[in-house]
Structure 1
Amino acid sequence: MQRIVIIGSTGSGKSTLGRTLAAKFGVPHTEMDTLHWLPGWIERDDATFRELVDAFTAQSAWVIDGNYSVARDLVWPRADTLIWLDYSFPRTAWQLLRRTRRRVFDGERCCNGNEESLARSLGRDSILLWLLKTYWRNRRNYPKALAQHPHLNPLIFRSPADTAAWLSGVGR
């Protein structure tokens, strides 16, 4: 495991696991969200985003997290391990609600210093709506996408407890 991509629905804990694994293995980590979003919630254009993803994944070892299909053709072929946090909808929604509360009410920042507001969390760009739009689509599409990359070592975790149990044995 030298090049790890972590996927899962928004709020599943991809970035948290990514930081943990990168620290454990002593390799660079990035969130695709950080490469995609500029300050002020401005989206980076696809070409520049892909250049940044390309440069990061050209390294010999790394951990990257995110679900951006526009860069999947760069990331998945270069990865040797794919971790899918395939948690239940209620679990993922609960984690996302907790994270959103921290970001809205405690001022926790994300991707390039961006802040979530109550208005943004409840508006048309709501991360909560994004979960509703993408959760079942991801669960339907990821197995098909994985089948196209037989070189990957897929690790699929159905709960945070499964992830923690696996993580406790990694690097021993």
Structure 2
Amino acid sequence: MRKILIFGNSGSGKSTLARQLADSEGLPHLDLDTLAWRDEVPPIRQAPAVSYQAMQEIIGQSDGWIAEGCYADLLAMLVDECNEMIFMNLPLEDCLRNARSRPWEPHKYESEAAQNANLPMLLEWIRGYDEREDELSRAAHQRLYDRFDGRKQMVTANSPAGQS
């Protein structure tokens, strides 16, 4: 049974690919955005140990799963349990275009207007991917990918229809 980590920059197509695989293979889809943050305004990162406990509760309920997100620190906690990695390593312009055209994500925003109001911040965040040096950077994702000895794939472009 597949146990897949999907990671990359915001707007790279992680969630789209994870949903497609989850639907086609009947696997639970774990969106790390839902576990990485405390439910506060402004949002504050959850302690990694708390996020890890929540991840274990979810993935422990199935022989296979898909976990996706941009948090190399949280993904690293699952490396020993996964058997496959997909690094969505798209050019920044593709990520920016995808972010501008993404549908409303009701599990993240209370309204489409709230999501649209956050778009300028998201686009700036995407632009900083190569400059960041934290667990949300291209460098951290590359290290995670390079250290993994199992089945892995690097995706550098979305499919022509905009799907990964």
TM-score higher than 0.5 here?
Answer: yes
**Residues in 2 aligned to 1:162 and 1:113: alpha-carbon distance in whole angstroms:** 30
Q: Match of 2:106?
A: 109
Of Structure 1 and Structure 2, the greater helix share is in: 1
1:39 deviates by 7.1
Greater CA deviation, 131-140 or 25-34? 131-140
What runs of 5+ residues in structure 1 fail to find an aligned partner?
Answer: 168-172
1:136 deviates by 5.6
Which secondary structure state, in structure 1, belongs to the residue aligned with residue 141 of structure 2?
helix
5 Å-filtered alignment, 1:53-132, equals 53-58=55-60, 59-99=62-102, 102-103=103-104, 108-111=105-108, 113=110, 115-118=114-117, 120-122=118-120, 126-132=121-127
Q: Match of 1:147?
A: 146
**Residues in 2 aligned to 1:161 and 1:4: alpha-carbon distance in whole angstroms:** 20
- Contact between 1:54 and 1:74, CA under 8 Å: does it hold in 2? no
Greater CA deviation, 46-55 or 31-40? 31-40
Give me the TM-score of the superposition, normalised by structure 1: 0.74
What runs of 5+ residues in structure 2 fail to find an aligned partner?
Answer: none
Letter of the 2:143 counterpart: K
1:76 deviates by 1.8
Greater CA deviation, 77-86 or 66-75? 66-75
Q: Match of 2:51?
A: 49
1:161 deviates by 2.2
When residues 32 and 163 of structure 1 are mapped into structure 2, their CA distance, relative to the original with a 3 A threshold, is farther
Which secondary structure state, in structure 1, belongs to the residue aligned with residue 152 of structure 2?
strand
Share of identical aligned residues, percent? Answer: 21
1:85 deviates by 1.4
Structure 1 residue 10 corresponds to structure 2 residue 10: yes
Give me the TM-score of the superposition, normalised by structure 2: 0.78
Deviations 1:113-154 (A, max 9, x none): 474252x333xxx1112112224654333332223221x211
Q: Match of 1:158?
A: 156
CA RMSD of aligned residues (A): 2.9
Which secondary structure state, in structure 2, belongs to the residue aligned with residue 19 of structure 1?
helix
Q: Match of 1:170?
A: none
**Residues in 2 aligned to 1:163 and 1:57: alpha-carbon distance in whole angstroms:** 31
1:162 deviates by 8.2
Structure 1 residue 23 corresponds to structure 2 residue 27: no
Aligned residues: 155
When residues 69 and 76 of structure 1 are mapped into structure 2, their CA distance, relative to the original with a 3 A threshold, is same
Which secondary structure state, in structure 2, belongs to the residue aligned with residue 160 of structure 1?
coil
